[in-house]
Structure 1
Amino acid sequence: MVTFMIGLVILIVGGMAMGRLCDHVFQPDDRETPAYAKQDGVDYVPMPTWKNALINLLNIAGTGPILGPIQGILFGPIALLTIPIGNVIGGAVHDYFAGMICTRDGGAQMPEMVRRYTNKAVFWIYDVFVCVLLLLVGTVFIYTPGDITATQVFGFSGSPTEASTWIIYGIIFAYYLIATVFPIDKIIGRIYPIFGAILVFSAVGVFAVMVIFRYPLVEIFGNWNTPSFNYGDYFWTQNFFPIFFVTVACGILSGFHSSQTALVARTIKSEKDGRMTFYNMMAVEGFIAMVWAAGTMALIQFTADQGGISMVFNEKAGTFQYMIQKAGELVAISPTSVVGVVCRRALGPIGGAIALIGIIILPITSGDTALRALRLTIADTFHIKQDNNFRRLSLAIPIFILVAGILVWAKFDPKGFQILWRYFAWSNQTMALFPLAAAGIYLMINGKGKWAWMPLLPGTFYTFICASYILNAKLGFGLSWPIAYVGGVIVAAIYLVLVIIRGKKGGTTPEPTVK
């Protein structure tokens, strides 16, 4: 538990210091925000800070800060330190500058921000990229909560041939359509506070139980190979760089977040609300990721014999399999099912059920705003007015037809979801490189070049991570790790040089729409 507590101190103290530094660099002021200057009762709606903060937290906290850490903790206790460090200097910085620049630039969405501070070629690449990713996010976050609800709440099989599976999908689908089209304060703004309370309960509840009952955790300064699982061997054989950082996206850094902070940029009342809404909420997500990583490690240490989880290597699949004790036998479960085991072990049947509801809510509250962001992105790109329900529906319906098609394919193809998730995970990290580059250029153009390292440090690091991963992956170029690492370094260097060159060119800073 010592390593976990050190990580928690890093997250809290480091987050407070870095958050203040972000404010010092950006210098939020009292100018009129887009929520007032463009108030339309639909997307530009002034909302209180606490509500914006909860909305942003639930937007960004999908299944990423839970499923990612559940798998990433196999790398050992280093995860309990890497998550908060990466969060403080990477993910929270990314979210802050993305949200604040979009606010100051009149509520611009991320493609517009990228266009203003890079060039048209990069803009079109990013625009296509973000639309594809948001489409995948919407699909994944119908599939995941739908299956959890079917199998762990109602006890159905979750089979694609069962009517119950598609009824549950259909209910989530219908909600997404409503949340995508109707005013943000009428739907999202009213129900998210309830969801937020359940989310906080599940994370804080599991954390409290771990501390009170002193759940067994492996320490960073001890032997990582234990009778329950050899974390040390896993660390050295599974390529911590880049696999861990692709596996644990949300909680450390996620490109999807910038699309969500851009949405909230249209509803904050004052720029001075930005640190709480953008930076601090990412720090809260880091806490959630740490809790689920630690909770999973504790269950592995308990082993299935004591109501926890045992890790068994599946030679056919070439990966470790999560196993639980059921009717006296070891039964394989998915990472998604680990969530239920953690909830019930820590919080009991009633508390576990409430927490499980929170886990189901997490992806739903990201999927709805992902599709809303997709509608707004397409509308902004092609200058399509969204001033009435008919126009919003006309744009939303084709999007939902595509989502339905991908969902059906992923459900019926035995490897469909696995392929879908892998592309989603890598794309999610790659997407972050664009707003980080734009933020660095923004700072240089505005005479704050000495602070450009803040977004460029994580931007360059993750360029190496994303490049080396796709160069090695079978879904990518299939190169050996040594070649992939060299290629990753070269691509990262090119990224850094191009951003600096663009920033030093300067030029006229695009005037904010509101002043």
Structure 2
Amino acid sequence: MVTFLFAIAFLIIGYFIYSKVVERIFGINDQNKTPAYTNSDAIDYTPMPWWKASLIQLLNIAGLGPIFGAVAGALYGPVAFIWIVIGCLFAGAVHDYFSGMLSLRHNGAQFPSLVGRYLGNTMRIIINFVSIVLMILVAAAFTAGPAQLIASLTPLSFTVAIVLIFAYFLVAAVLPVNRVIGRIYPIFGAILIFMAVSIGVALLLTDRSIPNLTFSNLHPGDLPIWPLLMVTISCGAISGFHSTQSPILARTIKRESHGRKVFYGAMVAEGVIALIWAAAGMTFFGGTGGLQEALAAGGPAGVVNEISTTLLGTLGGILAILGVIILPITTGDTALRSSRMMVSELVEKFFKVQGLKGVLIATIPVTLPAFWLSTIDYTFLWRYVGGTNQLVATVMLWTAAMYLLESRKFHWICGIPALFMTAVVSTYFLYAPEGFSLPYELSLAIGGAITLVVAFWYMNKIRKAHKQLANSSSSNAA
């Protein structure tokens, strides 16, 4: 229990200290007019209070990610606490802050456009495709689960539930951001926080003992911690999906100083939620072995439902149903909204996406494949979401590092976590079944070699930047 409480305290204290360090390095200026005013269009660019934007950002980036992912990551034991805290403060929240603030500084630009600006056009083309695929996968994966639950609780069939959910997706993705998202989603964001806090308090008041820190791998299936834990727990630590959601709120922020609360703060809140559910997972069932049996029997939704109803009674059951149905749906629709924005930027050289008709045309190409994918095996989708998600996170961190390097600012706050995630992603794709499925030792060796190559590229970029600065100083002196 001590480890759990220290982890939560560390996250909260870390927010008040490290978020200000990150903000100072980025360099805010509240005299700058934000895109919410300069690009106002009554659809996506609409000023919004920071507290409302923060709750929407939390709901957009979270959904069931910090719940299902944390429960699955709890199979590794208390070492998951370390990853959530360190990953959240020094990688995930930094990632979210820069993805939001760089978008704000570039007129609300989407993630692929930022990549193109700082990593080159070739990378922009690649990441455009990867990001849109990720959005489609997330929308599909976050639809199948709720549809199955709706079908089990109501007379509606799975197919009818899927159709109804996607009809809502289409409406929510094309309406102005302040119509549905701005009015309802702050309430759902508050419910997400209330649900997690209630579970956390109830867990502390039971006679169950939350395990303290051990670096041992407690996974019953003997799966390696590195790099699987870093992919299993993404929401709550670091998630590339967030870089596709932050521009939605970057287009609504009134002042640059609100970015720390909206982007960094929402990520820390998600980290706290992940800590609570990881603790619940590894505690409630008497250890990781019991948790694995519960996951095999009822899946993550069944685990969440059992924990909620046992600890919170009827209220817990209602919250569990709300969570499993509403939270993924709200993430799915913003996934389609951000993919619609990406498609709009992708085709803007050929024609301008304007008005409701143009927005609808840009939304349909991503809605149709997401609808089809939602009808296939749910577990299959998640196998590809994880690796793709962390690949996007790695690219966003490198984008932020190059921005800071170009701006002659302290780039290491993004460069070091970018190198770390490069090692995670390269090793994961070499080892995982959805990748090359190589032996573990060989995956470690090749993944390490790839990371070294990227590190040499990074050092070369730093050397060139210092050389340019020296040449510039010499020219000015002359």
What TM-score results when the alignment is normalised by the length of structure 1? 0.86
- Give the 3-state SS of the residue equivalent to 1:127 in structure 2: helix
Classify the secondary structure of the residue corresponding to 1:29: coil
Question: In 2, distance between residues paired with 1:470 and 1:111?
Answer: 22
Q: What displacement does 1:441 show?
A: 0.5
Q: What is the CA–CA distance in structure 2 between the aligned matches of 1:102 and 1:133, rounded to whole Å?
A: 19
Give the corresponding residue for 2:450. 491
| 1:434 maps to 2:395 | yes
Alpha-carbon distance change, 114 to 404 in structure 1, aligned in 2, over 3 angstroms: same
Q: Pick from 307, 314, 321 the counterpart of residue 293 of structure 2.
A: 321
Matching residue within 277, 286, 298 for 1:333: 298
Residue 372 (str. 1) matches residue 337 (str. 2): yes
Instruction: Output the CA distance in 2 between the equivalents of 1:302 and 1:431.
Output: 33
Counterpart of 1:208 (choices 189, 201, 213) is 201
Of 407, 425, 437, the match for 1:466 = 425
Q: What residue in structure 2 maps to residue 3 of structure 1?
A: 3
Deviation (angstroms), 1:55: 0.9
1:49 lines up with 2:14 in the alignment: no
- Do the aligned partners of residues 246 and 481 (structure 1) sit closer, same or farther apart at CA in structure 2, a change above 3 Å counting? same
1:380 deviates by 0.5
Rounded to whole Å, the distance in 2 between the matches of 1:266 and 1:214 is 47
Partner SS, residue 339 of structure 2: helix
Distance 1:423 1:63 in 2: 17
**Aligned-pair distance for 1:282?**
0.1
- Contact 2:139-2:336 at 8 Å conserved across structures: yes
Tell me which of 220, 239, 242 is aligned to 2:227.
Answer: 242
| 2:380 is the counterpart of 1:443 | no
**Shift of residue 35, structure 1, vs aligned partner:** 0.5
SS in 1 for 2:293: strand
**Which string of whole-angstrom CA distances, capped at 9 and with x for unpartnered residues, describes residues 59-78 of structure 1?**
00022111111111111111
Q: Render the CA deviation track for 1:315-368: whole Å, top value 9, x for unaligned.
A: xxxxx4327xxxxxxx92212211101110111023331343134222112111
The aligned amino acid for 1:344 is: T
Letter in 2 for 1:145: P
The one-letter code sitting in structure 1 at the alignment partner of 2:27 is Q
- Return the offset for 1:274: 0.3
Contact kept, 8 Å, 2:77 with 2:218, in 1: the verdict is: no
SS of alignment partner, residue 437 of structure 2: coil
Q: Give the Å deviation of 1:81.
A: 2.5
- Identity, % of aligned pairs? 37
> 1:425 aligns to what?
386
Residue aligning to 1:310: 290
User: Aligned partners of 2:186 and 2:175: how far apart in 1?
Assistant: 18
- CA RMSD between the two structures: 2.1
Retained in 1: the 8 A contact 2:217–2:225?
Answer: no
Counterpart selection for 2:277 from 292, 295, 316: 292
Q: In the alignment, which residue of structure 2 is the partner of 1:281?
A: 266
Q: Distance in 2 between matches of 1:505 and 1:104?
A: 25
Per the TM alignment, residue 148 of structure 1 is displaced from its structure 2 partner at its CA by 3.1
Residue matched to 1:385: 352
Q: Give, in whole Å, the separation in 2 of the partners of 1:358 and 1:198.
A: 9
Q: CA deviation at 1:9?
A: 1.5
Q: 1:396 and 2:376 equivalent?
A: no
- 2:344 and 2:353 in contact (8 A); partners too: yes
Structure 1 Cα separation of the partners of residues 5 and 189 of structure 2: 24
**Structure 1 position 417, deviation (Å):** 2.3
Alpha-carbon displacement from aligned partner over 1:402-444 (angstroms, at most 9, x marks no partner):
1122222x1xxxxx32221111111001111111001001001
Q: CA deviation at 1:14?
A: 1.7
Task: State the shift of 1:503 in Å.
Answer: 5.5
Kindly tell me the number of residue pairs found equivalent between the two proteins: 464
Q: Distance in 1 between matches of 2:176 and 2:59?
A: 17
CA contact (8 A) 2:145 2:324 kept: no
Letter in 1 for 2:281: T
- After TM superposition, the structure 1 = structure 2 runs for residues 101-116 of structure 1, keeping only pairs within 5 Å, are 101-116=102-117
Matching residue's letter, 2:115: V
1:242 partner letter: P
SS of equivalent to 1:44 = coil
Report deviation, 1:370.
Answer: 0.7
Q: In 1, distance between residues paired with 2:177 and 2:76?
A: 40
- Relative distance call for 1:235 and 1:20 in structure 2 (3 A) is farther
* Deviation per residue, 1:462-481 (Å, 9 max, x gap): 11111111111222112111
What is the identity, as a one-letter code, of the residue corresponding to 1:174?
A
* 1:233 Cα deviation from its structure 2 partner: 4.6
Amino acid at match of 2:73: G
Q: Given that residues 138 and 367 in structure 1 are in contact (C-alpha distance below 8 angstroms), is that contact kept between their aligned partners in structure 2?
A: yes
The structure 2 residue matched to 1:219, chosen from 188, 198, 212, is 212
Shift, 1:504, TM fit: 5.2
2:280/2:307 contact within 8 Å kept: yes
CA contact (8 A) 2:92 2:267 kept: yes
Query: Unpaired segments of 5 or more residues in structure 2?
Result: 470-478
Distance 1:377 1:94, change over 3 A: same
Q: Quote the Cα distance in structure 2 between the aligned partners of 1:98 and 1:503.
A: 21
Is residue 157 of structure 2 the alignment partner of residue 164 of structure 1? yes
| 1:501–1:81 Cα change, 3 Å | same
Amino acid at match of 2:391: T
Q: Which structure: greater helix fraction?
A: 2
Partner AA of 1:125 in structure 2: I
CA change 1:80–1:356 in 2 (3 A) is farther
Match of 2:189 in 1: 196
Indicate the residue corresponding to 1:270 in structure 2. 255
Amino acid at match of 1:443: L
Structure 1 contact 199–355 (Cα < 8 Å) conserved? no
SS at match of 1:186: coil
CA distance in 2 between partners of 1:475 and 1:147 (Å): 25
Deviates more, 1:466-475 or 1:130-139: 466-475
- Which residue is 1:315 aligned to? none
Q: Tell me the equivalent position of 2:434.
A: 475
Distance 2:335 2:392 in 1: 14
Alpha-carbon contact 1:77-1:219 (below 8 Å) kept: yes
The one-letter code sitting in structure 2 at the alignment partner of 1:431 is V
Deviations 1:212-271 (A, max 9, x none): 2353211115xx9xxxxxx74528931100111111110000000001011111110000
Aligned-partner SS, 1:322: helix
> TM-score, normalising length from structure 2?
0.92
8 Å CA contact 2:33–2:255 kept in 1: the answer is yes
Greater shift in the superposed pair: 481-490 or 379-388 = 379-388
Report the alpha carbon displacement of residue 16 of structure 1 after superposing the two structures with TM. Answer: 1.7
Evaluate the alpha carbon distance shift between residue 235 and residue 273 of structure 1 in structure 2; reply closer, same or farther with a 3 A threshold: farther
> Residue 236 and residue 395 in structure 1: after superposition, are their counterparts in 2 closer, same or farther (change >3 A)?
closer
| Paired residues of 2:146 and 2:329 also in contact (CA < 8 A) | yes
